[in-house]
A = this chain, B = another copy of it.
Amino acid sequence: MAASRWRLAVRCDDLVDLGIGQPDDSLLPRELLGELAAAALAKSTSSRLQYAPEEGAESLREALADFLTLHYGRLVKADELVMTSGASHALDLVLAWYTRPGDAVAVEAPTYFLGLHVLRQRGVRLVPVPVDEHGIDADRLEEVLQRHHPRLLYLIPTFQNPTGMTLTSERRARVAALSAEYGCIVVADEVYQLTASPDRVPETMRAHAGGNVMSLGSFSKILAPGIRLGWIECAASCVQTLRKDGVLRSGGGVSPMTGIIIESALRNGVQEQLLSAFRAAYDRRRRHALDSLDRLLPVEISYRRPAGGYYVWLQLPSSLDMRAVHAEAARHGVGFRPGPLFSIDGSFEDCLRLCFAYYDEDRLAVGIGRLTDILRSRLSA
């Protein structure tokens, strides 16, 4: 009863929105970025503030290649990198150059909802492939490859959004072999890859499938979303194709000024330190959230434990009306993303996504407490 009255007393400005999928403000190195900018711009040359090469300044791509080589545990080459305005711009750029409207594109079901917007905007035909606890279902993928001949597979192999699951090494090898066999390009959205230490994640998709994979990465999860800098790692021949892009040509690549700042963070060890801090925070928050869920979730609600990333995906009994749960949660100061958002056909009505990266442990506890209270009371009603 006390809990119930407490919930009713929640005010809007006390909302814990577990739907938000981003790092929280306290993790963002705002002042440090300012100091980095001052030092890096003072040391740089003014020519770096001109229009840059379409794929990004060579020295920036070299610094990024060194950083990725260290953290991916395999050689990443500067001439296999294209700088982008984050992973969504990267996806759009690949779609612009490697698909035509009407082409089939295979996507995980469920998948990142804003990625779906980018895909739909390019007019491609989306074909879903289910995801289980080991990542995308390779048998179903093969059926889709046989039947629909997709030009691309858009895949989030590590800490998948929204399920949190990671594609196993065995499946990665199978997906790689299948995509090569059927001539399907794998666009691996690997923005969560660096959020965990290398011993906790399988190797990136390019380690398995090489030239057939375009890997999308971003500084959004390991530095700040507002940086708007990401990259595509792909075959050097694909770099040569993507650099023909009209906007990249006319604009002279993406954000050369941001590139100067990030290059210095990569070279002087600041990105390395930040990476450790982000990983530690994400790890603490994930453990805390999963402990709370283990303790508080009604037994009727199941979920699979993500080994990292941002998200946990809950499966509710079909007896619960998701819209009603979502509305009651909002009234009681807790948010989440409903499952159908992540589907191309309104499915996953009995699922929801929680993000554990945005709030510290205290706020996570408040949010998860509120949500599990609501679910428990609805299940016992």
Which residues of A approach B to under 8 Å, CB–CB?
22, 25-26, 28, 30-31, 33-35, 37-42, 44-52, 85-89, 92, 96, 101, 114-115, 117-121, 224-228, 245-247, 249-252, 254-258, 260-261
Contact = CB atoms under 8 A, between A and B. Distances in A.
A52 B22 CA distance: 12
Contacts of A252: 225-226, 228
A34 B89 CA distance: 26
Q: Chain A binding site: helix, strand, loop or mixed by DSSP? A: helix
7 contacts: A35-B38, A37-B261, A50-B225, A88-B251, A89-B247, A115-B250, A228-B255
Contacts of A245: 121
A39 to B, nearest CB: 7
Contacts of A118: 246-247, 250
Nearest to A228: B255
A246 B90 CA distance: 12
B33 A257 contact: yes
A50 B228 CA distance: 10
A255 B227 CA distance: 6
A86 to B, nearest CB: 5
Contacts of A49: 25, 28, 30, 33, 224-227
Contacts of A255: 85, 226-228, 255, 258
Contact of A250 (B39, B88, B249): B88
A30 B44 contact: yes
Contacts of A256: 225-226, 228
B42 A34 contact: yes
A198 to B, nearest CB: 26
Contacts of A47: 25
Contact of A28 (B50, B86, B88, B250): B50
Given A30-B49, A37-B41, A96-B121, 18 more contacts: A22-B50, A25-B45, A34-B37, A34-B42, A35-B38, A37-B261, A48-B226, A49-B224, A85-B254, A88-B250, A89-B247, A101-B101, A118-B247, A118-B250, A121-B246, A228-B255, A228-B258, A257-B258
A197 to B, nearest CB: 24
A339 B227 CA distance: 39
Nearest to A255: B228
A124 to B, nearest CB: 12
B30 A41 contact: yes
A119 B249 CA distance: 13
B34 A46 contact: no
A326 to B, nearest CB: 20
Contact of A22 (B40, B51, B247, B261): B51
A200 B48 CA distance: 32
A82 to B, nearest CB: 15
A34 B39 contact: yes
Residue among A30, A48, A85, A257 with the highest chain B CB neighbour number at 10 A: A257
Contacts of A30: 41-42, 44-46, 48-49
A200 to B, nearest CB: 26
